[in-house]
Structure 1
Amino acid sequence: MRIDVDPDRCEGQAVCVGLAPKVFELNDDDEVVRVIVDEVPEELQKRALKAVEKCPMAALKVAE
């Protein structure tokens, strides 16, 4: 499973970083979240999916 970030929607609120810090991080300017894994490992998928669900800007999408 992969997750894509829409940089035009992301406001860097970092809800996803809090829920899945091994999958997401803020960019160097703390403005946009980026995915730090190419494929989300199975053991992190539940947290990553929760992050997609809880993103306040709906900037995350699952791309399987």
Structure 2
Amino acid sequence: MKFVYLGLALLLVATLSCKAEHCPDGYSQTIPAHCHVDEIDRRECAADNDCGGHGEKCCYPNTGCDARCVAN
């Protein structure tokens, strides 16, 4: 059971770190419901997409599970 909590904690950390770095003011990050913890590659989070506007990729490139920035 602790592995489940560890996975959720890593997902939360990845989400918060990506949101802080990539979504512009007035936007927040969303992650599609079909994404799973094992599909997230945090190393690529900062490298590929800067989420400069509506609907652009924000994080998790090359997984088919890209998070997106949406207007708050």
**TM-score, length basis structure 1:** 0.32
**TM-score, length basis structure 2:** 0.30
Higher relative contact order (CA 8 A, sep 6+): 1
Bigger-Rg structure (1/2): 2
Task: Select the structure that is richer in helix.
Answer: 2
